[in-house]
Amino acid sequence: MELIHDASMRLLEEQGIELLSAQARQLFKQAGAEVDETSGIVRGPRELFMEALDHAPETFVLTPRNPDKALEIGANNIHFGFVSGPPNIHDHVNGRRPGNLKDYRKLVSLAQYFNVISLMGNQATAPTDLPANTRHLDTYRETILLMDKVFSAVPIGVGRVRDAVEMVALARGISTDALHRDPSVLTNINVNSPRKLDDTMADAAIYMAWHGQAVIVTPFTLMGAMTPVTLAGALVQQNAEAVFGLTMVQLAGPGAPCVYGGFTSNVDMRSGAPAFGTPENALANIAGGQLARRYGLPYRTSACNASNAADAQAVYETQAVLWSAVMGHGNIVYHSAGWLEGGLVASFEKVIIDVESLQTMACILQPIDVSEEEIGLAAVEEVGPGGHFFGTSHTIERYKTAFYEPLLSDWQNQENWQQAGAKTATTRATETWQKVLETFEAPALDPSRREALDDYVSRRKNEIGDGEP
Amino acid sequence: MELIHDASMRLLEEQGIELLSAQARQLFKQAGAEVDETSGIVRGPRELFMEALDHAPETFVLTPRNPDKALEIGANNIHFGFVSGPPNIHDHVNGRRPGNLKDYRKLVSLAQYFNVISLMGNQATAPTDLPANTRHLDTYRETILLMDKVFSAVPIGVGRVRDAVEMVALARGISTDALHRDPSVLTNINVNSPRKLDDTMADAAIYMAWHGQAVIVTPFTLMGAMTPVTLAGALVQQNAEAVFGLTMVQLAGPGAPCVYGGFTSNVDMRSGAPAFGTPENALANIAGGQLARRYGLPYRTSACNASNAADAQAVYETQAVLWSAVMGHGNIVYHSAGWLEGGLVASFEKVIIDVESLQTMACILQPIDVSEEEIGLAAVEEVGPGGHFFGTSHTIERYKTAFYEPLLSDWQNQENWQQAGAKTATTRATETWQKVLETFEAPALDPSRREALDDYVSRRKNEIGDGEP
């Protein structure tokens, strides 16, 4: 790890990062970095970066409109995030289609329904039926109305993150000043790897830092395309880019909550196609956690896959990176429910399949109770050699809650399963999400706050008009 | 862990284990245990068990007929075992059917073909088309002819394990005395939980220990049915039963190779159906490894599932317990390819799906090379901000072997995948096993050894006739 750290510091010292935001370059110049205004390249000694990161908190709390769903980010906490970003939707009833607001609502409802999902990063799908310059207002409103958990601002330009900050303050019924001291919102900016940080993302991050909201900096890197083809090279570049972006956040708002992000997978070297859930992706998930901890920062990682269907491939790829995300001490695991087709699709069936395995993981992470009562030696004596435990009081007192009860798994024998239609898990998942959506009820919100949100959205839509890209 | 250990020692001291083998009871009596010849119950002070286990080696080597495929068992070695035991077969061409010798051959060929499979435990399927009293001779012969890896003797009675020992000696062209010093064979005995060890298994284990071959002792326990409903209670009972069986092995042959086995899952408390790949199963896999290491013993665990199809459920259940088996430092992971329907079926498609994820796991367990050449800072400089790495010499020199190349995963885009027939991973797995079997070639075996095996089998079949249950 120290070799990776050292090489990434040399990268920042000798090669630097191209930074497209003038205000961000100004921050680095003031901190003593070497800034080339022609090329936009920023270089600096490692001390500059390490000192800036010293200001970043090791843990912080994000409080959504329902304070019971506040999240401590960092330490030993693991929070599973819903799929975010796909331009398309798929389910087994309606097939594949472009993202749209109606499906967006359904996806947010699913994210709200399942307790194992702690937060939503970016939009669960892009509602491509709405104008690109104002659709974030619609998705923020829908998200706040349907979900009382932490969610992410769209990290493209100051306008979009400011709208998130303002709207969450309205939803909580507090001022943006109060929100500064008690943050709610996070956003995730990507580095345009290799070595390029664009201005809309940089400026969004700076705005967030100024307002005390959380920024995740995640270099989006596919080994062989956007980084060297080696894991070591990819990790060095990821680390340099993440440290650079996080330094920018700390220079803008020293002490602002921020998160080290890793998103390093590889391409298929025969076709150039992106791949996820590969061994290389898994190793990067683990190594990213080591690097984040080296700097005392919370860690964001992901659990993705490249399958075209919610099938066995989707699951074994996802599991390889989910387990490595958790074993790597990921504090936030993005895309852990619903991601399909390398992120081009949000899949309803995959949401259900993933929730089952996230719930399983949450149970596995519970310590084993080894009290005398739980051990129950008297029950063993009572049953005797060759007997069974079904009828003992030790069993009867506990059987209802002794084991995880699955959401999707079917444990019938083959004959009964055949008679019930021989449905695979993916087929049963369709029934599960349909049932959830049929009975879903949005969490209550004070009508005056809802009105304030509606007013804000319509005022901003008027303001924006055809403007704001 | 110490609480689990202590309670299991109390179980052995106070309640004891019913041991049906007279010669096994004699071994315990000679060692100073309290033996009730009426009930068959054996009790003893913890020192008796701990001293016996002190003789067991921490690691040992099993050498099959191909010495290049020798396995060190214990320490940091992980060996993946093929599915073993199912009475039925399933594939997507021929459907579900009872196990038979023809399919047995196919399964052994698959186990041989994939390098990530290190060993085969028991029979890959029971060839129910052959007489029960001699079919082990047929499966041993087929296994030796088609596979040059370590395999397991059928642990039911002395005759069956003796035949394995004799036949492997013939296959290696060495005497059984030489085999004693340089073991090849392992077997796995189950405790008939709760607290009962039957005579056929006990006598088979004692024979193996006398001849220096390896014995795994695995209590087969389903929480709520064969153990208390709690994890703590199940682990206590598992540990007591495993320690008891391993003590018997060490009393028979002090220093004989042996392995601590764990196979603790749970039942569905609504139906009583066995479940695998549950969070409880995963936690037991991890805790079992801690207990085995406490006694300085190699650890055998499993990666099972309870799905009726080689679908998403089969994979997420398997993955939960595969990862916990590996994270729990399992030295031998039984059933890690091909297990389906809670062990009632060996599935050809599941073999392929599992091999893909085992290969992935094997890659994940490789350390990252962090040499200067691998890091390739010069390549990062050469590409510059916003560029791509496809054409750099650093990439070109490495791209062919840089990444794991999948066996089954399909990374085409959605359009191409649709045009290619929209095949799920399970459908593609059918094509994969068919291709493997079409081109499979059995590993060479000296014709004189083959002849010796044939002679042995026909001599023993005559000997057995209608006898030997």
Q: What is the ipTM of this complex?
A: 0.97
Structure confidence at residue B467 (pLDDT): 87
Residue of A nearest to B415 (CA): A308
Structure confidence at residue A469 (pLDDT): 79
- Tell which of B365, B388, B421 closes a domain: B365
Structure confidence at residue B120 (pLDDT): 96
Distance from CA of A308 to the nearest CA of B (A): 6
Give the Cα separation of B12 and B4 in Å (integer).
12
Let me know if residue A139 belongs to a domain: yes
What does the pLDDT look like over B364-394, one tens digit per residue?
Answer: 999 999 999 999 999 999 999 999 999 999 9
Structure confidence at residue A289 (pLDDT): 98
Give the Cα separation of A101 and A105 in Å (integer).
6
Does A139 contact B at CB distance below 8 Å? no
What does the pLDDT look like over A357-411, one tens digit per residue?
Answer: 999 999 999 999 999 999 999 999 999 999 999 999 999 999 999 999 999 999 9
Structure confidence at residue A78 (pLDDT): 98
Distance from CA of B457 to the nearest CA of A (A): 36
Of the candidates A324, A208, A342, the residue with the CA atom closest to the CA atom of residue A271: A342
- Tell which of A365, A383, A407 closes a domain: A365
Mean pLDDT of the B292-297 span: 98
Let me know if residue A108 belongs to a domain: yes
Residue of B nearest to A4 (CA): B370
The angle at the Cα of A91, spanning A85 to A97, to the nearest 5 degrees, equals 60
Mean pLDDT of the B423-431 span: 98
What CATH number is associated with residue A313?
Answer: 3.20.20.480
Asked if B37 and B106 sit in the same domain, the reply is no
Flag whether pLDDT at B269 surpasses 90: no
- The tokens for A223 are 């080994």
Q: Are A428 and A410 in contact (CB under 8 A)?
A: yes
Asked if A16 and A146 sit in the same domain, the reply is no
Let me know if residue A395 belongs to a domain: no
Structure confidence at residue A192 (pLDDT): 94
Residue of A nearest to B356 (CA): A316
Asked if B95 and B174 sit in the same domain, the reply is yes
Question: Which residues of chain A register pLDDT less than 70?
Answer: none
Relative to beta strand B79-82, strand B332-337 is parallel
Torsion sign, CA atoms A388, A391, A397, A400? positive
A410 interaction partners in chain B (CB closer than 8 Å): 307-308, 313
Asked if A66 and A46 sit in the same domain, the reply is no
Q: State the CB neighbour count (10 A cutoff) for residue A167.
A: 24
A 56-85 near B (Cβ less than 8 A): none
Let me know if residue B404 belongs to a domain: no
Does B411 contact A at CB distance below 8 Å? yes
Q: B445 — phi, psi (to 5°)?
A: -140, 130
- The tokens for B29 are 């009596």
- The tokens for B71 are 């396995």
Asked if A185 and A298 sit in the same domain, the reply is yes
Mean of per-residue pLDDT scores for chain B: 97
Packing angle, helices B101-113 and B348-364, rounded to 10: 20
- The tokens for B308 are 């009726």
Let me know if residue A141 belongs to a domain: yes
Mean pLDDT of the B67-89 span: 98
What's the full length of chain B, in residues?
Answer: 469
Asked if A253 and A132 sit in the same domain, the reply is yes
B 288-347 near A (Cβ less than 8 A): 306-317, 319-320, 323-324, 327, 341-342, 344-345
Q: What is the DSSP letter of A253?
A: S
Let me know if residue B114 belongs to a domain: yes
Asked if B14 and B103 sit in the same domain, the reply is no
Distance from CA of A146 to the nearest CA of B (A): 29
Asked if A198 and A347 sit in the same domain, the reply is yes
Cβ distance of B224 and A402 shorter than 8 Å? yes
The angle at the Cα of B154, spanning B148 to B158, to the nearest 5 degrees, equals 120
Cβ distance of A424 and B375 shorter than 8 Å? no
B222 interaction partners in chain A (CB closer than 8 Å): none
Cβ distance of A409 and B315 shorter than 8 Å? no
What does the pLDDT look like over B306-356, one tens digit per residue?
Answer: 999 999 999 999 999 999 999 999 999 999 999 999 999 999 999 999 999
Of the candidates A112, A176, A113, the residue with the CA atom closest to the CA atom of residue A144: A112
Structure confidence at residue B460 (pLDDT): 98
Asked if B39 and B131 sit in the same domain, the reply is no
Give the Cα separation of B315 and B299 in Å (integer).
23
Structure confidence at residue A59 (pLDDT): 98
Packing angle, helices A348-364 and A101-113, rounded to 10: 20
Question: For the purposes of burial, counting CB atoms within 10 Å of the CB of B174, is it exposed (0-12), middle (13-18) or buried (19 or more)?
Answer: middle
Torsion sign, CA atoms A109, A113, A119, A121? negative
B 189-248 near A (Cβ less than 8 A): 192, 194-196, 223-233, 235-237
Cross-strand pairs, B264: B221
What does the pLDDT look like over B127-152, one tens digit per residue?
Answer: 999 999 999 999 999 999 999 999 99
Let me know if residue A100 belongs to a domain: yes
Domain extent at residue A240? 60-365
Structure confidence at residue A351 (pLDDT): 98
Let me know if residue A446 belongs to a domain: no
Of the candidates B310, B296, B327, B300, the residue with the CA atom closest to the CA atom of residue B220: B300
Structure confidence at residue B270 (pLDDT): 87
